[in-house]
Amino acid sequence: MDTLPLVSVVIPNYNYSKTLPKCLDSLMNQSYKSIEIIFVDDGSTDNSVEIASAYPCRIIQTKNNGVSAARNTGVANALGEIVFFLDSDVALFPDAIENTVLEFQKDPSLGSVCGIYAKEALFNDSLVEEYRTLQGYYWRISSEGYVTAGFFSLGAVKKSVFNELGGFYENLNNSEDIEFGHRLNLNYKLLLTRKVMGNHDDEHELRQLARKMHERARQRVPFYFHRKKFTKGFETPLRGIGMLFVGMSNVLLPFSFFSPLFLLLFLGCLLLFIVSDFGQYTFVLKEKGFFFTLFFIGTHWIITSVCFWGFVRGFLEFFTSRKFRLKYKYGE
């Protein structure tokens, strides 16, 4: 590599002492050495700051203002040409930052390079986490290329581009990635690539995952209305149709216990839901076998149902709450 631009790794953190050592160890083992580490602890009550103090990083402490504000604070203190955002529950592959810099050097039109979570969890604590890890991996791998949604738990932005765009909207702590990605795409390209990869510690409890996905779906509604288009990448038309079949199956399920006709209709909707993303299930079957695939299908139906009702709630709120309706319009 002819030049070695400084890469500022910004790590927002809130009570991730479990995963933090692996996250920071992965930075110590990067093949690319021209980095600085900016650790923004957002009011943790565990020993995260103590752990970070054992590593060569600059520590900034804030008062639980959310991930978007923590990332913005990190960039404001960054010296590098490239800012690499890394959540504290992700451990990078050794070549991740080097490959990121190479992608920027190959294509000057890139404003951002985002990575993909590996198909192996950082800590595999449950079958639910195994489901979530494989599902996230497949959706991102199948979307590899130029996209509009960012993944800034594991992604880089040119600092000049970040400053030009004004950073993340700090009121968005569940959909800030897609919003920032769409603004970036107005003048730059965003690359999603498997060359930048890390292991992620995902949710391992179904209730916790369902709550997160419901809220994420709810917040998508005003975003779509104001941007007037879906994100380019893993949100495919077929997957959208699949969600509609899940919604129909939710309505049919109570009646299916009393009527063979409704049971048949429910099973038909379930089959169409599976067909709408068939590649995902064949991937899981090859990776984990038949019985886990059955578990995967059932769990994915539950999570997709939760997302469907999140969208329904979002639509109702969009038409009844001016504050929610303007959430993405002004970034306030």
In 3D, which of 88, 81, 97, 83 has the Cα closest to residue 31? Answer: 97
How high is the mean pLDDT of the chain?
93
Q: Which helix (H) or strand (E) holds 49?
A: helix 48-52
Q: Which helix (H) or strand (E) holds 260?
A: helix 260-275
274-303 mean pLDDT: 97
pLDDT-derived band of residue 227, with 50, 70 and 90 as boundaries? confident
Maximum CA extent, the chain: 71
Contact between 64 and 34 (Cβ < 8 Å): no
pLDDT-derived band of residue 332, with 50, 70 and 90 as boundaries? very low
pLDDT at 225: 85
Convert the pLDDT of each residue in 51-108 to its tens digit. Answer: 999 999 999 999 989 999 999 999 999 999 999 999 999 999 999 999 999 999 999 9
What number of CA atoms fall less than 13 Å from residue 83's CA on the CB side? 27
CATH class belonging to 7-202 = alpha beta
Token reading at 94: 């050794």
| Distances 62 to 17, 47, 67, 242 between C-alpha atoms, Å | 17, 15, 11, 41
Residue ranges of the domains in the chain?
Answer: 7-202, 205-332
DSSP 230: P
* Model confidence, pTM: 0.92
Secondary structure E strands in 207-285: none
Q: Which helix (H) or strand (E) holds 183?
A: helix 176-184
pLDDT at 2: 59
Please give the share of the chain, as a percent, with pLDDT higher than 90: 83
Paired sense of beta strands 189-200 and 110-117, if any: parallel
Place of tokens 């309505």: 251
Three-class DSSP category at 10: strand
* The pLDDT of residue 3 is above 80: no
Residues 312/295/200/275 CA torsion (nearest 10 deg): -60
